[in-house]
Amino acid sequence: MSEYLSTEPYRGTRDFLPDEMSVRTQVFHRLYEVLERYGYQRYDGPQLEPVEIYESKSSQEIVNQQLYTLTDHGGRRLALRPEMTPSVARMIAGNAGSLTFPVRWFSHPNCHRYERPQRGRVREHWQVNVDLFGSSSTGVEVEFFELIHDMMAGLGASTDMWRLRVSDRVLLDALLTHIVGVPHDKVRETANLLDRWEKVSADTLAESAAEIGLSEEQFVRLGEVVKDGNAAIEDLPAEARDQSRLMQVLDTSAAELIEFDPLIVRGFDYYTSTVFEVFDTDPSNRRSLFGGGRYDNLVGLFSNREIPGFGFGMGDVTIIDFLSTHGLLPQPRTDVDVVVIPTEEQLFDPARRAARVLRDAGLRVTTPLETRKLGKEIQRADKAGARAVVIVGPDDWASELVTVRDLTSGEQRQTTLHALDSSVRTIIPSE
């Protein structure tokens, strides 16, 4: 047995070294910029929540198999949050009296689920959560579909790289009851079967359908709905179509942003009508990237006020995989822009003064902590990604000068501290 503790993180969690953290920061900053242009404000909440808020409306798979739970010293049952939506609903209910609706919020929480680690799934993940509360208008759906297109474009993704597949639980219920002939008490089980349609074999689907109680004829009709949902919609009674929010959206220009897909079910119990998922189209990563939908009853767990909601969560694992698959990941930012190098011990104070000038100008600047040979320090600066070094030598400093060297071209010039920023900016322009 080793005398040392393991250097590996807990299974299903990840360490992010600076290069990877730089990439992640750039990716999520792009998403923040789009969200803020749409008027969404950032919030956050606790990682620990009462278990009951997940038992009430989250999927049974999460509640029964994936929750990390604990009991505190007061006997209260708590869980590490597996998702953010119940938390934000609680926050909206608790602050409804002081909020102006509609509320547009987003967050970037880390969440925990006890899953079997595999591609696209880990036990700790971060996700961008986006929610709008306080409007029943189908304009909410339209805004979200436009927002998603802009977020994906902000990441550099063209529309042929992904698909926005949308369904409506009200419309799906009508299709199952009117077209397939599923009894009302079997609708939920049949919807769950649809949720697995692309994940298991045809024989397994047929066996599951028989276990639910569907006849062979009903199973065939179910397959027809899957194959051509738009044609099946046309066979619905007008009253059933009129009750669907998605049908209203399909009558707007937003119809060109989405495609109807009855296989989109979503496992969470709190969704009430519109549901959607975004899928990667690349054959090597053909999977759901993120999804969400409308939940008009979730705030009702915490309040007697009716406050409809709509939202989604974009997980870091799947979106980073997507960007990697399509060659869209940004390059890590370098550690530093400029290194100020004193050539002698007594020049450390002047070097710090020079570094201060450049930092005040917005540049990332380091100085050595001990004296080394100038050539070695320049090599270290180049390896750190610096584009320039400022050399503080005794002869130059006696004349109140420093030397600026361009590490790409090798050119160098002398300048004063007063003109140091403008001299360095000829090498590193302001962004």
Amino acid at 342: P
Indicate the pLDDT class of residue 269, thresholds 50, 70 and 90: confident
Round the average pLDDT of the chain to a whole number and report it.
Answer: 92
Binding site members: 83-85, 113, 127, 131, 266, 270-271
- Name the more confident of 352 and 286: 352
Domains of the chain by range and CATH? Answer: 18-325 (3.30.930.10), 338-425 (3.40.50.800)
Quick one: pLDDT at residue 199?
86
Quick one: pLDDT at residue 136?
93
- Given a cut of 60, is residue 1 above it in pLDDT? no
Kindly report the number of other CB atoms within 10 A of residue 42's CB atom: 12
Q: Which residues contact 18 (CB under 8 A, 6 or more apart)?
A: 332, 335
CA-angle at 211, arms to 206 and 212, nearest 5°: 95
Binding site members for L-histidine: 83-85, 113, 127, 131, 266, 270-271
Indicate the pLDDT class of residue 148, thresholds 50, 70 and 90: very high
Question: Do the Cβ atoms of 371 and 344 come closer than 8 Å?
Answer: yes
Amino acid at 282: D
Instruction: State the average pLDDT over residues 67-92.
Output: 93
Question: Do the Cβ atoms of 147 and 34 come closer than 8 Å?
Answer: yes
User: How crowded is the C-beta side of 90, counted as CA atoms within 13 Å?
Assistant: 17
Q: What is the pLDDT of residues 279-303, one digit of tens each?
A: 999 999 989 999 999 999 889 889 9
Quick one: pLDDT at residue 60?
67
Share of the chain above pLDDT 90, in %: 77
CB-based contacts of 225-233 (< 8 A; 24+ apart in sequence): 225/175, 225/176, 225/179, 225/180, 225/262, 226/194, 226/197, 226/262, 226/263, 229/175, 229/260, 229/261, 229/262, 230/260, 232/175, 232/179, 232/262, 233/171, 233/175, 233/260
